[in-house]
Amino acid sequence: MKHLRNIGRLALLLVASVLLLAAPAVSAAAAAGGQAAAGSGTGWIRLAHLSPNTPAVDVYLYSFDNPDAKMVLHHVAYGDVSSYLAVPGGDYSVAMRGAGASPTSPPVLSASIRVASGSAYTALAVGPRTGLRVRVFRDDLSTPPGHALVRVVQASMKHRQVSVSWGGKVIASKLPFASVTSYHAVSPGAETVAATAGAGDAKSAVTLAAGSIHTLVVLDGAKGLEIDNLEDADGSSQLPAGGAETGFGGTAARGPGSPMPWLEVVAGGSALAVGGGLGLRRSRRGARARRTLSPAA
């Protein structure tokens, strides 16, 4: 019966081990609840050559976090805009070399970009060849409900100041060369974009859908101004509210529910075991005492 005396200790051990086992499960559940909101850790970079008298360049993108990684856009000429490159969030540098120049030659121009996850950026090579520089803009990724966003980049060197309107609404007034407006929220629709500079004015039909984000680039064309309509981002014309009820529970595990009833059983059982063990010990001691007393009687 010696092992029975250890019942109390065994029960205590059991309670302790159950608590230890439960602890990681609870902390794992807490961690799952705190997941990041963003879908993945990527951001986007787009590069554009908007310097009218600078010849074509090769554009290199390097990652600070991964020195071996690079991307190259070959022969990027005035007016060229790359599509967005999806890259992990982190620090990057952009270097431009003359088209065809050795990748190890000193760059004509370089700049650094910090990419935040879930954010988009446009790096513009702007200005005249002699004053060429890279300007980095963070591109908006959300629109006011029912609206489109539009901004203007003025990349015409022949016309130092250009005004731009969309459907009669002025969205850039006497915008100087190599500058960029902030985004304007406009009502969606198909309208005429007009770029005016006193001479060489241009008109273009542009459709802006609700939920879409655009950049209009004013360029020097062969016959006056040209308008390039860039799509920065697009989304739903009407953003749904919240999640969706996409299940009826036919395969749901009937949830584990609260752990309390189980813990109560464990606690109750342990108390019984401890109580039983103590009672057993007292009972055996009493019996031993009676046995030692009886011969003397």
Partner 1 sequence: MTAGERWWAAIACAGLAAAFAGAGGLLLTRQGTPGLRPAPAAQAAAFPAPTAPIVAAPQAAQPASVAPPVALSIPEIGVRTRLVTLGLTAQGTVQVPPPTSVAGWYARSPRPGAVGPAIILGHIDSTQGPGAFFRLAGLRPGDPVYVRRSDGSTVEFLVTAVQSYLKAHFPTEAVYGPTPDAELRLITCGGAFDSATSHYLSNIVVYATSTS
Measured from the CB atom, is 170 or 269 closer to partner 1? 269
Q: Residue type for 101, please?
A: A
Contact 58, 99 (CB under 8 A): yes
d(CA 264, CA 294): 44
Contact 216, 164 (CB under 8 A): yes
Least distance to partner 1 from the beta carbon of 173, Å? 26
Measured from the CB atom, is 87 or 172 closer to partner 1? 87
Those residues whose C-beta lies under 8 Å from the C-beta of residue 185, and which sit 6 or more positions away, are: 143, 144, 147, 148, 149
Least distance to partner 1 from the beta carbon of 178, Å? 20
Measured from the CB atom, is 86 or 170 closer to partner 1? 86
Across the strands, what pairs with 216?
A: 152, 229
Least distance to partner 1 from the beta carbon of 171, Å? 19
Measured from the CB atom, is 176 or 243 closer to partner 1? 243
Least distance to partner 1 from the beta carbon of 109, Å? 18
Contact 159, 121 (CB under 8 A): no
Q: Which two tokens stand for residue 287?
A: 């019996």
Helix 7-33 / helix 260-293 crossing angle, nearest 10 deg: 170
d(CA 185, CA 212): 10
Contact 241, 222 (CB under 8 A): no
Measured from the CB atom, is 168 or 255 closer to partner 1? 255
The torsion angles phi and psi of 261, rounded to 5 degrees, stand at -55, -40
Least distance to partner 1 from the beta carbon of 175, Å? 21
Least distance to partner 1 from the beta carbon of 112, Å? 16
Least distance to partner 1 from the beta carbon of 158, Å? 21
Measured from the CB atom, is 195 or 213 closer to partner 1? 213
Measured from the CB atom, is 33 or 198 closer to partner 1? 33
Ramachandran category for residue 237: left, alpha or beta (phi over 0 → left; psi -120 to 50 → alpha): alpha
